[in-house]
Amino acid sequence: MSSFAPHITEPCLDLLPEEILDITLDKMQSAGIKPVEWRTLLYRRMNVPRIVSNYSFLVPDEDLNRASDLLEDIGLPRSTPSKFSLTVGGDMQAKGRFHCLKRSAIAALDQYIVLYPLSFATLSLSELSEKPTQYSELYRCSHILVPHPSAVYASLMRMMLRYPPHSTIWSILQADIAELVLYHLMGYTLETLPSEDDDDGDAESEDEHRRIDVAISTIREWGLRKERTEWEEWMGFALSSSVRGGPLCLPPEGTS
């Protein structure tokens, strides 16, 4: 018998973490709680090749306690982040409700469902839409709320404005945007990333310029099509700078 989720009454006792997740999200939705896909699962949807360690979701602020209680009721105990985790992860650790999904012999390999209040991500309901999903072959949770692509970038930049430059959480968010720019906006894959060892420099440069042009065009379109995202003009300048290889130029605090 598995050592995790002992209270989930499903026919199969040897459930994979993805299957436990599928069941849990279905139970949340059945209880009237609307989770929002966030961080690693969302980034993977946007073609960022991240390995899934934890499963992060946003829930409406007023439903956070109820959602956390539901996870405990079905056998996913809540864990308190260590002082080291709080130091390394900042508010990504402090603001989340960590519910253990799978224990490992090595604590660092434990897997969690992490719930955050929707307000933490600065997202509004108008920036979300329902998308099909497939977390496991159980197919219990068939749809999930997902931020529009432009809203993902906008929310991360809005979050960055809350923190001092180069602080722990600021650096985490900056790294997230850099990955999204590379794999989502510019369309690279692990196989097509430019390498210093490549001999065909001219062709590689031409390809990079083409990717930059496509990414800039997408950002401009977001600026014109503001109805789905709370997009501000400075966001387009900041992202365009990042696409061109420059710094992510955020406005000074209080001027956005």
The pLDDT, as a whole number, for residue 253 is: 61
For 175, other C-beta atoms within 10 Å of its C-beta total 10
Q: Which residues of the chain have pLDDT under 70?
A: 1-14, 196-201, 227, 253-256
Query: Do the Cβ atoms of 165 and 150 come closer than 8 Å?
Result: no
Residue 122 token pair: 């600065």
pLDDT in tens, 50-90: 999 999 999 999 999 999 999 999 999 999 988 988 988 99
pLDDT of residue 200: 63
Q: pTM of the prediction?
A: 0.90
Partners of 116 in the β-ladder = 58
Q: Determine the Cα–Cα distance for residues 137 and 18; give it in Å rounded to an integer.
A: 9
Residue 165 in contact with residue 137, Cβ under 8 Å? no
- 67-72 CB contacts, 8 Å cutoff, 24+ apart: 67/28, 67/33, 67/35, 67/97, 67/115, 68/97, 68/99, 68/115, 70/27, 70/28, 70/31, 70/33, 71/24, 71/97, 71/99, 71/113, 71/115, 72/99
Nearest in space to 23 (alpha carbons), one of 11, 40, 38:
11
147: helix, strand or coil: strand
pLDDT of residue 9: 47
